[in-house]
Copies of this chain bind each other. A is one copy, B any other.
Amino acid sequence: MSDLNSRLTTLLPAWRWLRTYSPDKFKSDLLSALIVIAMLVPQGMAYAMLAGLPPIMGLYASILPMIIYAMAGSSPTLSIGPVAIISMMTFATLNPLFEVGSPVYIQAACLLAVMVGIISLLLGIFRFGFLIQLISHPVIKSFIIASALLIALGQFKFLVDVPLKANNIPEFVFSVWQYIRYSNSASLIFGLLALIFLIYLPKVLQSNAVQSRIGSTAFLTKALPLCLVVISIAAVYFLDLKAVGIKTVGEIPSGFPPLSMPYWNLDLVITLFPGAAMIAMISFVESLSIAQATALQQRSHLNSNQELVALGLSNLSAGLSSAFPVTGSLSRTVVNADAGAKTPLAGVISSLLIVVVSLYFTGFFRDLPLAILAATIIVSIWKLVDFKPFIETWRYSKADGIAMWITFFGVLCIDISTGLLLGIVSTFILLLWRISRPHIAVIGLVEGTQHFRNIQRHHVLTSNKVLSMRIDENLTFLNANTFKGFLINAMSQYADLEHVVINCSSISAIDLSALEMLEDLNAELNKLDIKLHFSEIKGPVMDKLRHSKLLNHLSGRIYLSHFQAMQELSPEVFLR
């Protein structure tokens, strides 16, 4: 029986929670679904607009993908759907190719979701989940901050109602200079009021004075964007604000999301591929951290490839149901968990509620002003813009700091994908650079102990017959020559040198270039009647060295400890 269970769980991870479902759980799931939906409706429409798509697609993107993830994913609380960064990346991918909002543009957005889905699915099936590691944290952080800045800037066009461009900062500055005189002040005032509403009301609601009077305001705070939406629709409708030039969402088709394979051809697929690959990568980065937290809490085995499969299926279903690429949303997941969601059914319920909205309530949103959606995006995204990580990172590691700045300026000054790529490549180069400049030290004995330390940092005992060295990095082609050069230069200080002892305690791998360097070194030292010894070689390294010529030809010995080597090679140091 438990064997059947474990098999079912592998095939359909949802089996884990389905078979123990109870009415109690349903009550908490329903409540959190209601709270999430209050966030999701305005967010979904806003993010669709961010991707350059009709708002209804933001609702579509929250239906099937959520149900599919509930069946195939491992986290009970992860809320999957439209997310700002991914929407922005979708826009950045499609904007140069098609007219924004045109039928081909919309079809291409669906195709992009299908491609992201297939790429994730294939990576998951062929166990390439580790590829996610190619992006370092500082690069992701910097990417998100810079993208958030661009996203926020990009929304100003809805506030001022002129066609500002914001693919990068220079473009934005130029288009502001070009168009700002044509801006619509009614729209701007309306938008600024919305911004003030979204920024100050939460602070008022969270103040002690208010909380002591009406109790917890957490839910109210979360529902503020929805309130703003309702208020602004009422304002447009009753005050006839369209007459002063306030642009609104307009007619939204109602009904189920149309299910169909988006139009595709090979050329289009090839053109979209780099963008799809980047989106797949970033969407995996975003949802994996949530899945990892879940696995730890449940003390369960985490299979990151299984997560990739779940994410792939969700995106595939998004593309086939007229939506655009999706991923796990950190903000909605936190709200979902806080509201007491017990199982993925919470997600399923909220997607069913979205179906109800898109069936019967789309007419309601006809008069929703675009400036309000823009304000929603600006406020939610602005929280991500934070320069503290830049300072902290720079303080901890210059290399990570450099990669961060490269990503930042790449995203802001070129475009979002090129910036990310530059950041990834720069981390590789900086890593190789660090490996090529290892820490190498001549070491000596700390008196009265068996420890050896850098002679330049500590007061230690040394012998003029024996040179002891340590390298704090694996020996590879990138540093073999540096090591040899360091050794040659260190040797020039010793007139009566008889032994060189290399401490290998920090070496976990020696590649062939380094091995040959050591063989040459051994041969060359041999000619000068100097013996080469090694100490503290690790087991796996020793296993590999046994296959090499080095050990057969070695003029000296292998010592288990460096202390033992020094005791034997230069006993006079111990007699002092």
Contacts and interface: CB of A to CB of B under 8 A. Distances in A.
Given A136-B513, A137-B516, A488 B292 contact: yes
Nearest to A517: B137
B301 A492 contact: yes
Contacts of A484: 292
Given A299-B492, A472-B540, A488-B301, A396 B133 contact: no
A293 B400 contact: no
Contacts of A289: 520
A396 B515 contact: yes
A497 to B, nearest CB: 8
Q: From A395, A428, A527, name the one whose CB has the most chain B CB atoms within 10 angstroms.
A: A428
Contact of A513 (B137, B302, B438, B540): B137
Contacts of A540: 439, 472
Contacts of A173: none
A538 interface: yes
A509 B400 contact: no
Contacts of A508: 438-439, 472-473, 506
A431 B432 contact: yes
Contacts of A544: 396-397
A266 interface: no
A512 interface: yes
Contacts of A292: 484-485, 488
Given A431-B478, A547-B396, A136 B488 contact: no
Contacts of A396: 512, 515, 544, 547-548
B296 A488 contact: yes
A428 B439 contact: no
Contacts of A427: 477
A548 B397 CA distance: 11
Interface string A388-432: 000001011101100000000000000000000000000110011
B479 A509 contact: no
A295 interface: yes
Contacts of A134: 478
A308 to B, nearest CB: 13
Interface in A284-300: 288-289, 292-293, 295-297, 299-300
A130 interface: yes
A399 to B, nearest CB: 7
B432 A481 contact: no
A239 interface: no
A99 interface: no
A129 to B, nearest CB: 9
Contacts of A133: 436, 477-482
B301 A489 contact: yes
Contact of A511 (B302, B400, B513, B527): B400
Given A397-B512, A477-B137, A297 B527 contact: yes
Of the four ranges (under 10, 10 to 19, 20 to 34, 35 or more), the interface on chain A belongs to: 35 or more
A524 interface: yes
A443 to B, nearest CB: 12
A547 B477 CA distance: 32
A293 B524 contact: yes
Nearest to A494: B299
Contacts of A137: 477, 480, 512-513, 516-517
**Which of A133, A474, A484: most chain B CB closer than 10 A?**
A133
A379 interface: no
Interface of A: 130, 132-138, 288-289, 292-293, 295-297, 299-302, 304, 393, 395-397, 399-400, 427-428, 431-432, 434-439, 472-474, 476-482, 484-485, 488-489, 491-492, 505-506, 508-509, 511-513, 515-517, 520, 524-525, 527-528, 538, 540, 544, 547-548
Q: Which 5 A-B pairs have the closest CB atoms?
A: A136-B477, A137-B513, A472-B508, A400-B512, A136-B513
19 contacts: A132-B481, A136-B511, A137-B477, A289-B520, A292-B484, A296-B528, A297-B528, A299-B491, A299-B528, A301-B492, A393-B512, A395-B547, A396-B515, A397-B512, A400-B512, A431-B476, A434-B509, A505-B505, A506-B538
